[in-house]
Chain A
Amino acid sequence: MRPLTEEESKTFFEKLSKYIGRNIVHLVDRPDGNYCFRLHKERVYYVSESIMRRATSVGRDLLISLGVCFGKFTKTRKFKLHITALDYLAQYAKHKVWIKPNGEMSFLYGNHVLKAHVGRITENTPEHQGVVIYSMADVPLGFGVTARNTIDIRKLQPTDIVVFHQADVGEYLRDEDSMF
């Protein structure tokens, strides 16, 4: 476990900012205590200072996880967000997509979001923008990247892809073994 280097922080924040924009500030500077990002086995964990201090007494090979895992660095040093970060992404998301009940299961099995399934979308969402996906009852289901901007979506066929799938809560069941 160690703090991120400046370069790592930069790639990490860059990826995070695609979903929550400037709201990263609220993660870094919290009024309810000190929270920090720590790297452990190439994974980035968002953890409170007190828990991080306690975890120092656990050996590196024995420590499995601490705090909330935000994602991991790939071997080419790119950053990949994991579904475990959804709580924070959903809280601070800038652009959102709500999907209709008939599209929920399809998305949760790992498919892209089709136009027919989109219930609502944040106005003025640009193309290739990170979005958080909610059910119509405002339950966060996952996140993805828009294929078109809001205006262009109107012209699409019902079977065309609107949001590319990146992660969904179905992974908790599908990738249970490799998740942690």
Chain B
Amino acid sequence: MDVSTQLEVKQQSLTVEKAVPLEFDLALLAGFDINTLDEERLRQNTDKYLKECSRNGTQLIINEIFKLPTNSTEDGTFAELPDQITKIPREKPVPKPKPLTRWEKFAKLKGIQNRKQSRKVFDEATGEWVPRWGYKGANDDGTNDWLIPVPQNAGINATRHTRNLEEGARGADQKSAKEELMKKISISKSATASIGRFDKPLKGEPKIKGVKRKFDPLISDMNKEKEANLNIVNGLFGKKDKSDIINARKARNMA
């Protein structure tokens, strides 16, 4: 075999012909071959045929990678991979929409929309732009005094105010009263002498989820473990054991 035929063979192995061109997602270094397998060849020599198929596929991916723009650094030449095409489903479910607040519900019902107000307003009396409120503001009509009388209708809003505070205290994701009760039961269960170890479960008691026993690894950094133990010991005795400084009992006996 002369050099030209050798080169030809090499060239042949570099170029692969496929009936349907492959789809590539080079960000994942993946190629997808949707060509049908040659059933006859598959039967005759399964291993060899599959190996050849995968080799050809790999060759095509490598060919494709070599077409990419490159970037040479001290460490070598790198191909710049494009963005990922394949969409991967998200791991967690889409978060639930937050429940609307009382005001948002009301605003939706009435069709109230937020509009951006300008900071300054035109004062026609003086012919100047003044701030809407605050120092030298347009709304300073004398009621910004340090002392103003309590209006007659004060206190009407009090009941609503307390209701709003209660709702606010419950937090954005308003937990049901039942859920809260169950949580409190589980807390109160540990309030026995045995920390709830020997208590009989109540009827319909919830199984506490997500509470996992967590222990340090059996084999870890020995120095760290030593340090932690010494810390505990030092915590027991305080910085310096006071009884070591003055032994009150001894002092009393000596006197």
By a beta-carbon cutoff of 8 Å, the part of chain A in contact with chain B is 1-3, 5-6, 9-10, 13-14, 17, 21-22, 24-25, 28-29, 34, 36-38, 49, 52-53, 56, 75-77, 124, 126, 149, 151
Contacts and interface: CB of A to CB of B under 8 A. Distances in A.
Contacts of B228: 6, 9
Contacts of B226: 28-29, 34, 36
A22 B229 CA distance: 12
Contacts of A53: 219
B169 interface: no
Contacts of B235: 10
A49 B222 contact: yes
8 contacts: A1-B218, A3-B217, A13-B233, A25-B230, A34-B222, A52-B218, A124-B253, A126-B249
A3 B250 contact: no
A28 B222 contact: no
What 5 A-B pairs are tightest by C-beta distance, nearest first? A34-B222, A28-B229, A3-B216, A2-B215, A24-B233
B252 to A, nearest CB: 9
Contacts of B222: 34, 36, 49
A149 B249 CA distance: 10
Interface of B: 193-195, 197-198, 215-220, 222, 225-226, 228-230, 232-233, 235-237, 241, 247, 249-250, 253
Given A28-B226, A28-B230, A77-B195, 12 more contacts: A2-B215, A3-B220, A10-B232, A13-B229, A13-B232, A22-B241, A53-B219, A56-B218, A75-B197, A76-B195, A76-B197, A151-B249
B232 A36 contact: no
Given A1-B218, A34-B226, A22 B249 contact: no
A153 to B, nearest CB: 13
Contacts of A10: 232, 235-236
A6 B250 CA distance: 35
A149 B250 CA distance: 11
Contacts of B220: 3
B225 A25 contact: no
A151 B197 CA distance: 43
Contacts of B229: 9, 13, 28, 37
A6 B32 CA distance: 54
Contacts of A126: 249
A36 B225 contact: yes
Given A3-B218, A3-B225, A10-B236, A124 B230 contact: no
A75 B198 CA distance: 9
